[in-house]
Amino acid sequence: MRKVILGVAVSLDGFIEGPNGEYDWCFTDQDYGMGDFFKRIDALFIGRKSYEVMATAAPPPGMESDPFAHFKKYIFSNTLTQIGEGYQLISGDIKPQVEVLKKSPGKDIWLFGGAALTTFFINEKLVDELSLAVHPILLGQGKPLFSGIQGRIPLTLIDSKTYSTGLAALTYKMA
């Protein structure tokens, strides 16, 4: 069965963005395992707000075109009625649709975000793996990765890797 992986960069105090949406603190000097990660996935799960940012933003600096062009992109929204080319809209009762996708043939799926979709997926126990790139910084304010989680969730550490820049990559199985 395909796995849903929540893969994200966080500060040590658990923020995914600074107070003004900044992510300039995220390391871009090396690959940090993203190349291998991209080989094991073939699809992205994206929330409506993140989609709207992605659809309107220019490609990130240094990238000529959409780095996710080869992936199937599923957008979760109950308000959107139409969607750009190359995207697929999922609305209504999400859970059974995600379960069908997980059972269908394919590689693993990257739960790309944002916050609302992430919370929903965690609470509905739809996430199989958590892969955090913990950056050596305290932001002190911003948008937290984890919010609205209901109840305790035990985790199993699968892997931990550190880089010379001080980034700690922690991977957990969500039990």
Partner 1 sequence: MRKLIAGFAISLDGYIEGPNEELDWMVMDKEMDFEGQMKRFDTFLMGRKSYEKLVMMGATSFPGIQCIVFSNSLSNTMDGFTLVKGEVVSTIKRLKKQTGKDIALYGGAELLTSLLKYGLVDELVFPVMPLLLGQGKHFLGYLDKRVKLALIETRTFASGTVRLSYRVK
Q: Does 160 bind partner 1 (CB under 8 A)?
A: yes
CA distance to 3, 125, 161, per residue, from 158 (Å): 14, 18, 10
Q: State the Cα–Cα distance between residues 132 and 124, nearest whole angstrom.
A: 20
Q: Is residue 16 a contact partner of residue 117, using CB atoms and an 8 Å limit? A: no
Q: Does 157 bind partner 1 (CB under 8 A)?
A: yes
Which x/- pattern over 114-153 shows residues binding partner 1 (rule: CB under 8 A)?
--------x-------x-x-x-xxxxxx---xx--xxxxx
Q: Record the tokens describing residue 107, joined without a space.
A: 């590689």
Q: Does 154 bind partner 1 (CB under 8 A)?
A: yes
Residue count at the site for partner 1 (CB under 8 A)? Answer: 33
Q: State the Cα–Cα distance between residues 5 and 108, nearest whole angstrom.
A: 7
User: Which of 1, 13, 67, 103 is close enough to bind partner 1 by CB under 8 A?
Assistant: 13
User: Which of 14, 37, 52, 87 is close enough to bind partner 1 by CB under 8 A?
Assistant: 14
C-beta closer to partner 1: residue 43 or 174: 174
Q: How far out from the chain centre does Cα 151 lie?
A: 21
Torsion sign over Cα 161, 163, 165, 166: positive
Q: How far is the CB of 34 from partner 1 (least distance, A)?
A: 19
Residues lying near partner 1 in the complex (CB under 8 A) = 12-14, 18, 25, 122, 130, 132, 134, 136-141, 145-146, 149-157, 160, 162, 166-168, 170, 172
